Amino acid sequence: MTQTSVSTHAWTLMAALGAIWGASFLAIKIGLEELPFLTLVAHRVIWACLILWIYVLLRRLAIPRDPRIWGAFAVMGLLNNVIPFGLMAWGQQFIETGLTSIFNAGTAIFGVLVAAAVFADERLTPRKALGVLVAFFGVAVAIGLESFRQFDIRSLAQLAVIGGTISYALAAAWARKTMAGLSPQVSAAGMLTGASLIIVPVAVIIDGPPQVPTLPQTWAAIVYFGIVGTAIAYLLYYRIIALAGSGNAMIVTLLIPPVAIVLGALVLGERLAPQAFAGFALLALGLIILDGRLPALALGRLRKT
């Protein structure tokens, strides 16, 4: 579903979602100060799963009974939650929250490439290829030449975050192939159920018995990124798609980094290198080219003049 116009209400919801997801990077960074990253991911998916199932039951939405659908939910939970949440949380231990959010904005790039490889109706047009090329260059600039010359833990953390965006792209393709016709709220709840069943035993095996946070800021972070940044954010995201279309919903990815960068600077005293901002500018340009509407509008105006 793609629409070319966005109402004021939809813009307000997109701004709210961009702020929610932008602040989630700060909450994860705070949680990592006390908890191991896998335990943190387990908290995130479990609490979000609980809230979404309460929503599904209150709305009396139809719950699928086909085991194949629940198998698809498990794969979706792995690709859209366990792998990207885990890789990004691990990476955030070594890089800034703002930089993590910039790389996260590259999800759309890999989404276009995966869709082109999997679906016949998503071929890579010259415009999309140009957008991907520009956005890739932006990611490379954000990483920095120094990271390529001297590979260290910070370089590995950046690649881990990028790996998370690739997993998001694979999840989008998997959802299109296996979840057509399902309520998005039920799909989200089922996905988080599958993610919980995977991440909890993995976290126990690697991190040990569940750790109870002792710091109030850790509990606040868990409540935020589990309930607000995941459960409520998913519901808000699906509402935006219903109002403005999936194409317009991609705009949210450009609203997240400014929020994460500002919060990282104000709360944690983080300072990003100029190359990070230059990389984000190029990445944003690539996403605008991928979207196609602004370049087409500009070309139309030039022709009129």
Residues in the chain: 305
Given pLDDT bands bounded at 50, 70 and 90, which one contains residue 295?
low
pLDDT tens digits for 209-250? 888 899 999 999 999 999 999 999 999 988 888 787 766 777
Q: Output the pLDDT for position 224.
A: 96
pLDDT surpasses 80 at 190: yes
Cα 128-131-136 angle, rounded to 5 deg:
125
What percent of the chain stands above pLDDT 70?
Answer: 91
Given pLDDT bands bounded at 50, 70 and 90, which one contains residue 127?
confident
pLDDT tens digits for 133-153? 998 888 888 887 666 677 789
Q: Output the pLDDT for position 34.
A: 95
Of 147, 183, 172, the closest CA to residue 276 belongs to: 147
Q: Output the pLDDT for position 82.
A: 97
**Mean pLDDT over residues 173-194, rounded?**
90
Cβ atoms of 100 and 37 within 8 Å: the answer is no
| C-alpha neighbours within 13 Å on the C-beta side of residue 247 | 13
Q: Output the pLDDT for position 1.
A: 43
Angle between helices 8-31 and 83-92 (to 10 degrees): 60
Where does 142-189 show beta strands of DSSP type E? none
Q: Output the pLDDT for position 242.
A: 79
* Alpha carbon distance 252, 236 (integer Å): 11
What are the structural domain ranges in the chain? 8-304
